[in-house]
Amino acid sequence: MTPWEIDALELANCNCAFGCPCQFLSPPTHGHCEAAVGFHINKGHHGKVSLDGLNVAFTASWPGAIHQGNGTIQLIVDDRASPEQRKALESIFSGGDTEDMATVFWIFDKMSPNRLETLTKPIDISIDMAARRGHIRVPGVFETTAKPIRNPVTGAEVRARINLPAGFEFRQAEVATGTTSTSGAISLPNNKGTHVHFCRVYMNGKGVIDHAA
């Protein structure tokens, strides 16, 4: 396997209620899973290929819980990437060069037999974890906006975190709310005012890097 490592920020919007029961091994809120996700890689490499500063995104849907499989997923790779970088990003985010069960990318790949063609597109990502605000814009595919959860009575912003000491995606995430509109092959009609998490994704082919997560 080619060694790799990424230190990235992630914005993920799914169709579940705030907090997302899937994070706690419970069934999805509405019985099925829909997600739009984007990553900005601060630093990274795949072998000798640098991935610094690149973006990646995907849309995915499963008819039931993710672990029940039969999902459909489409990866989008930054159009600024060189051919070597595109190949590297597709490998990492499709679960390649990874030990079995080690990363969320490996699991998503195995649970998504209906993999659509990887797209090369401009990917505009803004992530402010402290403010719990951000967006992902991929022309012709999807747009996600995220903002803080607000108290329904006072209107004040509410801060909540998810801590998963043994998580395979993250160790800690900030929870927010978001909406996704889609225009690509995968439709996500139910992601309106639903769960968002912002997190740092620091991992390699063996999983999350504990000392830096």
pLDDT tens readout for residues 82-139: 999 999 999 999 999 999 999 999 999 999 999 999 999 999 999 999 999 999 999 9
pLDDT tens readout for residues 15-45: 999 999 999 999 999 999 999 999 999 999 9
User: For residue 148, which of 131, 126, 136 has the smallest C-alpha distance?
Assistant: 131
210 confidence band (pLDDT: 50, 70, 90): confident
User: For residue 112, which of 63, 70, 75 has the smallest C-alpha distance?
Assistant: 70
80 confidence band (pLDDT: 50, 70, 90): very high
- Rounded to whole angstroms, how far apart are CA atoms 11 and 48? 27
Q: Amino acid identity, residue 127? A: I
Q: Could you give the percent of the chain with pLDDT greater than 70?
A: 99
* Structure confidence at residue 107 (pLDDT): 97
* Structure confidence at residue 23 (pLDDT): 92
- Rounded to whole angstroms, how far apart are CA atoms 198 and 202? 13
Residue 157: beta bridge partners? 150
pLDDT tens readout for residues 151-204: 999 999 999 999 999 999 999 999 999 999 999 999 999 999 999 999 999 999
- Rounded to whole angstroms, how far apart are CA atoms 22 and 98? 22
H/E stretch holding 201: strand 192-204
* Structure confidence at residue 212 (pLDDT): 57
- Computed over every residue of the chain, the mean pLDDT equals 97
**Domains of the chain by residue range:** 4-212
| Contact by Cβ (8 Å): 211, 171 | no
Give Cα 147 to chain centroid, integer Å.
Answer: 16
* Structure confidence at residue 174 (pLDDT): 98
